[in-house]
């Protein structure tokens, strides 16, 4: 009877061992995906982050990057612990899984919370940045971001092209420009002297709604990836706990 029970435990341990090993391979790949999403979010549209006064957007991406690095290392530790059946390493692996789980849930919650307050922040800050900081000394990053925003999203001004009439750039320098050149449908030097709809993005509307839609979609991706991978880790923690228990029983 004792021999039969021991054999049953050994078979269960072997099954759990290979299930956890397969999970670790998937988990390691998922860690690379989490890292890639975090880096892509910061690098691909990093210019637009300077238009936001809040650090929530960047914080969510940075948390995912940190989580992705830890997941990759955790996957390696998990594979070693599983193959060698080292109970102490499995406990370390379980603790790391829990830490990453909390990090990714935090990233997901941050993305969701920030998405709720996105509209108010953009409407308050985008117009202010455009009117007070565009082409001003020491505000080169804002200037580049605004130009890129208007060209990529085919828009002019925060709400519409008339926002530029009250800008420090136009009032301070007495320029003949009516809008920045980046508002033009065909970009050329001093093309912003004409604000006719055939020349600028006048009827297409302002940039605030288009930027809102873009950032919201990015936050959905950040939140979805963070929470999705976090719940995948619950499966890994369950396998790890079962394997730890079986290894303990096998010792007796």
Give dist(CA 60, CA 66) in Å, integer.
10
Across 2-75, the runs of DSSP E, i.e. the strands, are: none
Residues 6+ apart with CB under 8 A from 74: 27, 31, 93, 96, 97, 100
pLDDT for residue 77 = 77
Q: Which residue has the higher pLDDT, 251 or 195?
A: 195
Q: What is the pTM of this model?
A: 0.69
Mean pLDDT of 235-248: 73
pLDDT for residue 3 = 45
Across 26-168, the runs of DSSP E, i.e. the strands, are: none
pLDDT for residue 248 = 59
pLDDT for residue 250 = 47
pLDDT for residue 154 = 93
Minimum mean pLDDT range among 43-57, 167-181, 234-248: 43-57
Give dist(CA 85, CA 57) in Å, integer.
41
154 three-state secondary structure: coil
pLDDT for residue 183 = 95
What is the token pair recorded at 127? Answer: 């117009």
Instruction: Give CA separation, 216 vs 68, 209, 235, in Å.
Output: 22, 10, 29
Q: Which residue has the higher pLDDT, 192 or 70?
A: 192
Instruction: Please name the residue that has the structure tokens 């892509």.
Output: 40
Confidence of residue 5 (pLDDT cuts 50, 70, 90): very low
pLDDT for residue 251 = 44
What is the token pair recorded at 204? Answer: 């297409």
Instruction: Give CA separation, 97 vs 6, 11, 24, 26, in Å.
Output: 29, 25, 11, 14
158 three-state secondary structure: coil
pLDDT in tens, 120-143: 777 778 888 898 989 888 888 889
Indicate if the pLDDT at residue 164 is higher than 90.
yes
Mean pLDDT of 91-101: 80
């Amino acid at each position: 009877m004792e021999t039969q029970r021991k054999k049953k435990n050994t078979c269960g341990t072997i099954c759990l061992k290979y299930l956890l090993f397969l999970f670790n391979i998937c988990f390691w790949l998922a860690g690379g995906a989490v890292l890639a999403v975090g880096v892509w979010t910061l690098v691909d549209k990093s210019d637009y982050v300077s238009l936001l006064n809040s650090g929530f957007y960047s914080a969510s991406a940075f948390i995912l990057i940190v989580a992705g690095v830890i997941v990759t290392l955790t996957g390696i530790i998990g594979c070693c612990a599983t193959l060698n059946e080292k109970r102490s390493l499995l406990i370390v692996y379980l603790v790391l899984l829990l830490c990453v789980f909390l990090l990714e849930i935090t990233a997901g919650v941050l993305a969701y919370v920030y998405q709720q307050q996105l509209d108010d922040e953009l409407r308050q800050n985008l117009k202010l940045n455009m009117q007070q900081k565009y082409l001003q000394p020491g505000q080169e990053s804002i200037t580049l971001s605004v130009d890129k925003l208007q060209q990529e999203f085919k828009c002019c001004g925060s709400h519409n092209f008339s926002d530029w009439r009250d800008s420090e750039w136009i009032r301070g320098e007495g320029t003949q420009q009516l809008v920045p050149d980046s508002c033009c449908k065909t970009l050329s030097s001093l093309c912003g002297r004409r604000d006719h709809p055939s020349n600028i993005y006048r009827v297409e509307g302002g940039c605030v709604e288009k930027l809102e839609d873009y950032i919201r979609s990015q936050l959905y991706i950040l939140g979805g990836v963070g929470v999705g991978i976090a719940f995948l880790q619950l499966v890994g923690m369950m396998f790890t706990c079962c394997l730890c228990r079986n290894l303990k029983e096998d010792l007796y």
